[in-house]
Amino acid sequence: MESENSTAIFVTGTDTNVGKTQVTAALLRRWLISASQADGCIAAIKPIQTGCDTADASDITVYRLAISDLPANRQQCVDVACLREFKAACSPHLAAEWEKNQIAPGPLLEELLAIIRSHASTLIEGAGGILAPINDQEFSMADLAAALNIPIVLVAHNRVGALNQVFLAMAELVRRSLPVAAIVLNQIMEITSLEEERYCEDNVIRIKNRFPLVPIITIPFCSGMPNVRLNTMERHLGKQLPAKFFISQLKVSTSEEPSACQTFDREHLWHPYEDSSPSSPPLPVVSARGVYLHLADGRVLIDGISSWWCVIHGYNHPRLNGAIGKQLQSMAHIMFAGLTHEPAVELGQRLLALAPGNLQKIFYADSGSIAVEVAIKMAVQWSRGIGKPERQRFFALSGAYHGDTFGAMSLCDPEGGMHRRFSAILPQQIFLPRPRIPFGQAIDGAVERQRYEPFFKKYAHEVAGFFLEPIAQCAGGFWFYSADYLELFKRLCEEYDILFIADEIATGFGRTGKLFACEWANIAPDILCVGKGLTGGCITLAATLTTDAIARAIARDGPLMHGPTYMANPLACAAASASLYLIADGTWRKKTWHIEKFLRENLAPLSNFEGIADVRVLGSMGVVEVREPVNRQSFQRYCVDRGVWLRPFANVLYTMPAYIIDDDQLQKITSAIGGWFSSPEKEISAKPCV
Ligand code: PMP
């Protein structure tokens, strides 16, 4: 049964062996006694159980014991389950490893959310302490609780050292903005001296003083048989838990009514490429972790497009968050005119170490479009610097997309591009035909030269640079073209003294399977634009890089005339350095190869569908081109119902996930795309959508 308003609690501990299982079992009993038949069912779940070498070793036997004396019709309202079991009695990551296994957080999370949604209340008991690792990617119990986004009951053993343990655990929970429903100070051993009794009492007072808004529950030592002890614990909980404790916990609603947030948003906020009150309200997101977006109503979506391709390492990455947090301690921002700072320098060093060719100068910009504007200015000032001021125009490719500001818009495809409404006031650039030979195939060099060289012959005298998205034209239709074109274009640019300007804002940092797409042809650009994945998608930053020689020519014209207020923002630079640190370790390579293989295998069968024009995959990009434009709203609704977030472009359905995505998550994405074509919801819209 789908519950309208589900509540859930995550029981964790300051350490292992603090009595979490008994507290969970006692909470279960309390709920069952205080709720009525009409309140529905409760689930008590142990997501990961270690130390399962005997049949009754699982904590769920304790849950069952705690309610064993209650009427049978009440016991029928309880579901208990253990979702992952391992024999070794140690941390989950190790217990799984010893069984040659890995715990994938994604499927575990989805199972838990499905349980929460189908019960009136759910108790989830963590394994070990709050930071116990679940897998070797450092996904911890705290990450699991955060991903579930449900309140915490923190259990501590009330003894010497409890203050330190509670304060440390609470600091971590506060740092992660995890709501704490209660702290339970559990006396798991008998007190044997007056002195001991005094410091246990003192613990309670100090913890209450430190956290005045959090209910502090004390459970004295309970003796007797296990079931008697559990009943006594339940009575202590019953006396001290605030009234309505269970029903006041986070509600996971399944209502379709727009929330207050959606209503304000709809009335006042613009969204990208939308009219001012779109027909379908945007989905409120309360947190994001890994590849998951957590919606305010409790649903969880796999983000198949990594927030417009920039969240390459996944959301809420501890290294990126840590870098921003650390930088925040010293300064969030200072102007970059006449001042400098370590984050900008460190990022510069990392960027130059990775960048192709001989790029030596960096301009930090605030977004991809601005990086393109800066590249335009660099090329124009370079022309003036080399004494050819008449070279003020640019070559670009049909089907190109380079951004939303005016200079960048002028480089976007003037026919099919998004910016055709503004064409009358845009600088008029020269558009060369879209490369026609697909990626992976060789071009006939002589034939293609004949197609392109006439443009160089005719216009070179007025052209400063050739802008292109190497290998993959993304927002212009996700077209992947032969690497031979890059070689040809580079050669023509050299012959006609035109700057080769690579816009790697979408393709940079591993997206195509190479660090930079230019590497597919072993060429180095004269100017390189990067953005999107530069900061791992956690804060805006882009950069335009060029060579010393070009910078010297620009200097002959005077200073490079651009200077944004937030140039080289230290928080953004710190995040980008951390992201490049992750990139430099090279694991993205194996991951993107694997994603490519998976997408190839799983999207290929779609090419047999009627109505599908092409299926293509490159690196971590999977594209299904449909013969007619797709109705975005109905496709998105279909995907959201299947736990997936995608956003088609006109007639192209595509995925560009974070590199950390696993096979189960990829499967969900490809199944949603594939399922759409045989679903009754499939509609083809009358007009193209962006
Ligand atoms: N160039 C390319 C190739 C892009 O894909 C984009 C964004 N999709 C941009 C430039 C513009 O970047 P931003 O949205 O950060 O301004």
pLDDT digits (tens, 9 = 90+) for 251-305: 554 455 677 788 888 889 999 988 776 667 899 998 898 999 988 777 889 999 9
Give the active site residue among 532, 591, 662, 668: 532
Q: Give the residue, out of 271, 305, 402, with the most ligand 1 atoms within 8 A of its beta carbon, to mutate for a pocket test.
A: 402
pLDDT at 254: 46
As a dihedral over the C-alpha atoms of residue 577, residue 579, residue 584, residue 586, rounded to 10 degrees, the angle is 180
The reply to whether 401 belongs to the active site is yes
Scanning 90-222, the segments in alpha helix (DSSP H) are 92-98, 105-117, 141-148, 162-175, 194-210
Q: Is 503 in the pocket of ligand 1 (CB under 6 A)?
A: yes
Q: Is 200 in the pocket of ligand 1 (CB under 6 A)?
A: no
Q: How far is the CA of 523 from the centre of ligand 1 (A)?
A: 22
Neighbours of 187 (CB within 10 A): 19
Cα–Cα distance, 197 to 186 (Å, whole number): 13
Mean pLDDT of 25-42: 90
Mean pLDDT of 191-208: 90
pLDDT at 158: 93
Cα–Cα distance, 121 to 673 (Å, whole number): 33
Q: How far is the CA of 421 from the centre of ligand 1 (A)?
A: 19
Atom of ligand 1 nearest to the CA of 308: 8
Taking only the tens place, the pLDDT of each residue in 646-666 is 999 889 999 999 999 999 999
Residues near 503 by beta carbon (within 8 Å), at least 6 away in sequence: 372, 375, 402, 467, 468, 469, 470, 529
Sort strands 479-480 and 499-503 into parallel, antiparallel or unpaired.
Answer: unpaired
Q: How far is the CA of 358 from the centre of ligand 1 (A)?
A: 24
pLDDT at 121: 92
The reply to whether 273 belongs to the active site is yes
Indicate whether 6 pLDDT > 70.
yes
Q: Is 540 in the pocket of ligand 1 (CB under 6 A)?
A: no
Taking only the tens place, the pLDDT of each residue in 407-441 is 999 999 988 777 778 989 999 999 999 999 999 99
Cα–Cα distance, 150 to 59 (Å, whole number): 21
Q: How far is the CA of 99 from the centre of ligand 1 (A)?
A: 45
Exposed, middle or buried, 608 (CB in 10 Å: 0-12/13-18/19+)?
exposed
Cα–Cα distance, 332 to 540 (Å, whole number): 14
pLDDT at 689: 35
Indicate whether 512 pLDDT > 80.
yes
Residue ranges of domains in the chain, CATH in brackets? 7-240 (3.40.50.300), 283-315+588-676 (3.90.1150.10), 357-564 (3.40.640.10)
Q: In what order do the strands lie in the sheet with 612-618?
A: 612-618, 621-626, 652-655
Mean pLDDT of 574-589: 97
Minimum CA distance residue for ligand 1 atom 13:
368
Q: How confident is the model at residue 104 (pLDDT cuts 50, 70, 90)?
A: confident
Cα–Cα distance, 636 to 630 (Å, whole number): 10
| CA atoms within a 13 Å half-sphere pointing along the CA-CB vector of 642 | 22
* Of 476, 565, 471, nearest in space to 521 by CA: 471
In which element (H, E) is residue 448 found?
Answer: helix 445-459
Cα–Cα distance, 592 to 619 (Å, whole number): 6
Q: How far is the CA of 617 from the centre of ligand 1 (A)?
A: 20
Cα–Cα distance, 430 to 354 (Å, whole number): 32
pLDDT at 190: 87
Give the active site residue among 292, 315, 364, 401: 401
The reply to whether 87 belongs to the active site is no
